Amino acid sequence: MTPPAVAAPVSSAAELAPAVREALGSLILTLADNKRILGIRYSDWMLGAPTIEAGIAASSMAQDEWGHGRLTYSLLSEFGSDPAHLEHERSPGEYHSMQALDEAFTSWTEFTAASLLLDTALSLQYGVLLDSRYVPVHNRVQKLLDEESYHFQHAAAWTRRLAAAPEVRGAFEAALARYLPAALRWFGPPGGEQSGVLEAAGVVHAGPEALRAHYLAQIGPVLAEAGLAETAGIRLGADDFWEYTPELQWEGWRDSTRRAGGDGPNEETIRRVRGDKNRALLLD
């Protein structure tokens, strides 16, 4: 059997076919927007976390997310976009962040659930760019994933703690139930157009179904160890594959933004994201 042709590496977006370039630009913008909004959500808990150390971790994680966002936005200059415009001049409806991040976390249980479920989804989606044909993403993604490993350890440790605290276990289960389907859906529908274009072009090495399987394999053991897998709707199925048993809903789904509606993050969030308060000090 003849092995499949290996697509040649490309060092600039201009070398990609227009449809591939458009799909990759859209993916990169989605990743950058999620990093930026997640950073804001983490930053809300610099003060008010259960311990000083947890607050410092939240602060550091917020910095990480904003750094990742900045690095990711900067890639888009090759895709016909102005990173400064993307970072400082868009309205809420133009953001491609997850609907699950539209509202702030109202509790440490939501913080932890989002960190375990949403942040991990982002990391896995970045991970499929690690050996992309599009070479400029490589070194940025590796650094990012190194930092994200601590986010996952932090979330996993707090998952064990919250599961063992009867006072908050119910609230934590509710947060997991809200974020888990959102994270699984965020990878996109089977046979999605955007992911299909990118996978066929060798720009990503895994599509939505493979990513969902990797994702469940990463979070499944953490939830199972904490006794939370069953209520979250996941189980270790045949052949040692983790499964999410409820059916994912795709009504209203838009591949281009990876959202199924909503108006985007609220206006106050976007004012903070854009830096409106100190706009006069923004230097070229």
Partner 1 sequence: MKEPVYEVFARKTRDQPLHHIGFLNAMGDDLARVYAWKTYDEQNWFEMCVVRRTALLPVNQTESHYADRVPEQTGKVVHAVGAASYGGSEVSGEEVPE
Residues that bind partner 1 (CB under 8 A): 48, 50-54, 56-57, 60-61, 107-109, 150, 153-154, 156-158, 160-162, 165, 167-168, 171
Is 226:163 a contact under the CB 8 Å cutoff?
A: yes
Give whichever of 147 and 209 is closer to partner 1, judged by the CB atom.
Answer: 147
Give whichever of 71 and 210 is closer to partner 1, judged by the CB atom.
Answer: 71
Helix (H) or strand (E) holding 228: none
In whole angstroms, the minimum distance from the beta carbon of 142 to partner 1 comes to 16
- How open is the CA angle 75-98-148, to the nearest 5 degrees? 60
d(CA 230, CA 227): 7
Is 37:269 a contact under the CB 8 Å cutoff?
A: yes
Give whichever of 12 and 139 is closer to partner 1, judged by the CB atom.
Answer: 139
**Strands (E) located in the chain:** 234-236, 242-244
Residue with tokens 């590796």: 142
Q: Which residues pair with 24 in a beta bridge?
A: none
In whole angstroms, the minimum distance from the beta carbon of 184 to partner 1 comes to 25
Give whichever of 44 and 243 is closer to partner 1, judged by the CB atom.
Answer: 44
Roughly how many angstroms between the first and final C-alpha of the chain, as a whole number?
56
In whole angstroms, the minimum distance from the beta carbon of 48 to partner 1 comes to 7
Give whichever of 46 and 248 is closer to partner 1, judged by the CB atom.
Answer: 46
Tokens (6 digits) for 268: 């106050």
In whole angstroms, the minimum distance from the beta carbon of 163 to partner 1 comes to 11
In whole angstroms, the minimum distance from the beta carbon of 66 to partner 1 comes to 15
